Structure 1
């Protein structure tokens, strides 16, 4: 039986290098899974994926990280205003197929990205989370420990716990 790890990620446009490094450490661990797919908005608009280069240091570090972990980016079409921001990364060739970009989902200004994960499913695990038992005080405390980019406050965004 083969387990597939599926993740979703959002990188704010002005995320600092410290937060990126924390993400890279987590990525190192999960990318060692036998089958791994990570999708999300990575906000590296300066990466022309056909050339695998970048102008900005943070984008070059992102490319180096994906290369070091042997991850392949499989989306080929722009996902927002002519730029490829929404990516699907995988560590196994042939794991992701039928990638389609286009249309909208709700009021998002990004195009919808659809894909199929290929593999034999021998076991399905499903859990229903009981949010009444959640420790929201601990959750707020942990969110408060995440490094915060002060530039985002100027854009009207608030740090967790300031709502």
Structure 2
């Protein structure tokens, strides 16, 4: 069933997008996304997993991209998803891990980020099931599924074989 969703999403995204992506990746507006439902890991492990696929944990630039990602992850209702946002260097100073840039767009759930009321060191961003995939901060040591992102190739590129 999961493979069916991925294949359908890949087909629809490729048909509606002017970008191309590797198999099992979903194309949208110049990026390719890998929703690794079967790969749960800590935040650091998720970064390495994405790196092994020449990608990074997703950087969400705007409401359109956020809604696209939410529409996809809602199909997997019981899964939480790592995004590439962290404040592990300076508490309260949230930055995209790959670029160290402050986000221009956020979708924090009410009362988030909160480091669990200051009781825990919650330094990593998650699209969480309990908030309909609005963002929360959570412990980086928990095991969630990563959303990997990389730049898509153009559909005008041709591969010549032979």
Asked if TM exceeds 0.5, the reply is no
Q: Which has the larger radius of gyration?
A: 1
Higher RCO (C-alpha under 8 Å, 6+ residues apart): 2
**Normalised TM-score (structure 2):** 0.29
